[in-house]
Amino acid sequence: MEAAPQKTSTGKRPLIKALFLLAFIVAAVLIVRFTPVKSYLTREALGQVLESAGYWAPLLFILVYTLGICLFVPGTLLTTLGAAIFGAYWGFLYVWVGAMLGSSAAFWIGRTLGREFAASLIGDRLKKYDEAIERNGFATVLYLRLIYFPFTPMNFGMGLTRVRFRDYVFGTGLGIIVGTFIFTFFVGTVREIWLSGNWADLLSVKVFFSVALFVFSFFIPKIIKKRKGE
């Protein structure tokens, strides 16, 4: 008589946590879309806030990036802001750190609130795939990052799988380095020319190199998929 209520309570817990995860995601999207937060996601507005922060500006930006990822702000937008404000090289560093912290936080949220419910839905057919992701977690995460799988959905989604946290972190850290550097280098180079006002520099080797890298980045997923297929 006492065993049945305990089993029911245990069965309800994953569902309740999953509902909290769903509520969090909905609230995150609404906060960014329908509150003043959205107005700060511009070069001018965020730049003014960071400028007033002085020496703390890099840490504040990293915090903004981390929270932005958890609130489903597009990573491309946050990366563009980082490069436009801090330049190609410092922008790359701050963006990479923010992306790592943000992706780790989103993974933790997904794992804490959604893993139990996801596991309860996995039948025998899908169980082998879940176990395979655990065995090959680093390679799986690295591959998905290199082919530019949507950043934020993957952060939360990987938390629902059995992939180990360390595999997720190392796979993410290595997988986003190339794309992040290429994008921040391109935006940072354009920023330098814009600030200098010397538009003749558009014909410089550095600009052509940054454009070439930027164009090449779109072919990286196809190259990796082709090699994986072979």
Domain count, the chain: 1
Q: Is residue 228 part of a domain?
A: no
What is the rounded CA–CA span in Å between residue 142 and residue 137?
A: 8
Q: Is residue 204 part of a domain?
A: no
pTM of the model: 0.84
What is the rounded CA–CA span in Å between residue 118 and residue 120?
A: 5
Rounded to 10°, the helix 88-121/75-86 angle is 160
Q: Is residue 207 part of a domain?
A: no
pLDDT value, residue 212: 79
Q: Is residue 8 part of a domain?
A: yes
Q: Where are the alpha helices (DSSP H) in 71-123?
A: 75-86, 88-121
Q: What is the CA radius of gyration of the chain?
A: 21
Q: Is residue 94 part of a domain?
A: yes
Which regions of the chain are under pLDDT 50? 1-10
Say if residues 141 and 149 touch (Cβ distance below 8 Å): no
What is the rounded CA–CA span in Å between residue 140 and residue 125?
A: 19
Full domain range(s) for residue 25: 3-179
Q: Which residues contact 224 (CB under 8 A, 6 or more apart)?
A: 143, 146, 147
pLDDT value, residue 190: 82
Q: Is residue 185 part of a domain?
A: no
pLDDT value, residue 117: 87
pLDDT value, residue 227: 65
Q: Is residue 40 part of a domain?
A: yes
What is the rounded CA–CA span in Å between residue 133 and residue 136?
A: 5
